[in-house]
Every structure is written in structure tokens, then in C-alpha cells.
Amino acid sequence: MEYEIYLDMFFLVNFYMDYIIMWAVTKILKITQHVYIRRIGAAAVGALYATLIIAFRLNGAVWKIMTYAVIVLLMSFILTGKKKIRQIMGGAGLIYLFAITLGGILHVIYYYTFAGFALRGQGVSWVLVGVGGVMFAPLLQSMIKSISKRVYLEETRTVAILENKDKKIKLMALLDTGNSLYDPIFNVPVNLIESEAARKIMEDGIGMGYHLIPFTSVGNESGLIPVVQFTGLTIHTSGGEFHIDKPWFALYSGRLSGKEEYNIILHPEMLHKSNKEDNNVFKSNDA
């Protein structure tokens, strides 16, 4: 029994599925520059390769290596525009993940499996692809939200060592661009720390400049929050190790993260504010 395969339709079906996956990856990686061109380019490469596999019946070991490694990495490179292999691999990993989820396929690479369907004589219709896309839309949104949160935490979470005189404590900190807390008395940025963690090195709190400042949090009415000054703060980031002398911290009575992923929320100015005032000196240990 022979089956007819319309290569133009096969290409369009693959392009449609590839574009959905590229869209999801760009959402997670927050790619905005030339995003439509990147999506179309990466999807076109994947769809064209799948079509060539079918047209010329390329089914050897070399082509499997091309499928599993080279082509997906090329698609990731086009989509992300990154030159570092780690970033390209990260994009490729997301392509694999969404391909498996959205395609519901046995093999890791979605376009190769479409080729397998066609070689076995099973058709892939627009109706099937369209209905499948609609059914997976809620799951896709959920995955994007979950993965985006994890990527955000990986990019903004860092190790922080807080000092008070001769005592130190190592905590996880989140660099939050939404933290706009300022001390109106000293006119300096204020970080947030869970009071339970801070008290481990506060002792009696004498000589730490204890006072109250206005504070508003999401879902709560405006009020006052206690603020103290620690001896020093060291932040470990991918860009180096940074030290801030005498940083101010607001003592938050609850949990900053429901899953205890971090205990400190850093003010964004901690990584770029540099002056010679005693109450907020910024230095880089890499200098």
C-alpha cells in the first residue's frame, strides 16, 4: 500500500508546531529583540529539516545525530541570538521540553517523530494539530508561568552574608527591582530581611540605629516597620563579589517566600549605588 505525502502541507504543519514551541521559549527567556523574525527563522529551520528528512528518506545514524543535536542547537542559536554554549544549550533544553509536552511523542525531537509518522503512512491533519494546540494551551500557559518563575529565581537569587560586629550569617537573597523601600530619615535604600533570621546575629539590637519607617506590602494596609543597620553585607553574584558597608534592613515579621527560597529581598540600588557615605559604602572585592 502506498501513501501520498504533500510536502508543502507537511512543512506547514511542522512550521505551525515549531512556531508554538518557539513562542513558548521566547516567553520564558524574555526575548524581545527581533522576536518575530527569530521565531519564524527557528521554526522554518526545524520544519524545513523535517521536510527534507521525509522527501529524501534520510534515516541513518548521521541524520539522527543531526536531528538530536545540530538542528536543535541551531534553532536555539537563531532563537536566542546567544553565542555562549551554555545559553544555547539552555534554549535547546526548553525546545526539547515543549516539544515532548506539546507533541505527545515518543522521541525527544518532535520533527523527527513527525517524519516517523509519515514514513509509517499515518497522516497529520490540520484539524488534529489545531485541536491539539487548543487542548495544550492551558498546560502551556501553566508551564510558562512555572518555568519563568524558576528562571527568574535563578537569575535574581544570590548568596548573601550578613555581618553584625563579629557575627555572620549566610542567607539566600533575592534582587528585586520592585523593592522601592527608602528610609526617609537618612534617605538611603532599605533591604528587607525576615526578622527571625536577623535576630540570630542582632543580639540586643543596641547601637544598630533602631527606628520605624513607613511600609506598604501587597495585600496589606500601610503601616510602620522597624529598621536597623548591620555592620556589612557581602553579595555573591555572577559578576563578582560585592560588599556594602553598614546597610539598612527592615525587619519583616513574616515569610518573604512561601517555600523559603530566600530570606532577604535586596534593594536594586545595592548593586549599582556607590558613594562614600558611612551609612552606605559600596565596594567590589573583584576590583
Q: Are 216 and 181 in contact (CB under 8 A)?
A: no
214: which strand partners? 224
According to DSSP, the β-strands at 191-194 and 188-189 are unpaired
Protein fold of 157-284: Cathepsin D, subunit A; domain 1 (2.40.70)
Can you give the pLDDT at residue 67?
A: 84
Strand locations in the chain, DSSP E?
A: 157-164, 167-175, 182-183, 188-189, 191-194, 211-215, 223-229, 232-237, 240-245, 248-252, 264-266, 281-284
Q: In whole angstroms, give the CA distance from residue 243 to residue 213.
A: 25
CA–CA–CA angle 215, 177, 281 (5° rounding)? 80
Q: What is the pTM of this model?
A: 0.58
Can you give the pLDDT at residue 221?
A: 61
Per-residue pLDDT of the chain (287 residues; tens, 9 = 90+): 465 778 888 898 889 889 989 999 999 888 989 999 999 999 999 999 999 998 888 888 888 888 888 999 999 999 998 778 888 998 999 998 888 776 654 333 344 444 444 444 454 455 555 555 555 666 677 777 777 777 666 667 889 999 998 999 999 999 887 778 999 989 999 999 999 999 999 987 788 999 999 998 765 667 899 999 999 999 987 667 889 999 999 999 989 987 778 999 999 888 665 333 444 433 434 43
According to DSSP, the β-strands at 264-266 and 167-175 are parallel
List the domain boundaries for the chain.
7-124, 157-284
Q: In whole angstroms, give the CA distance from residue 237 to residue 220.
A: 32
Q: Are 29 and 42 in contact (CB under 8 A)?
A: no
Can you give the pLDDT at residue 116?
A: 44
Residue type, 81: G
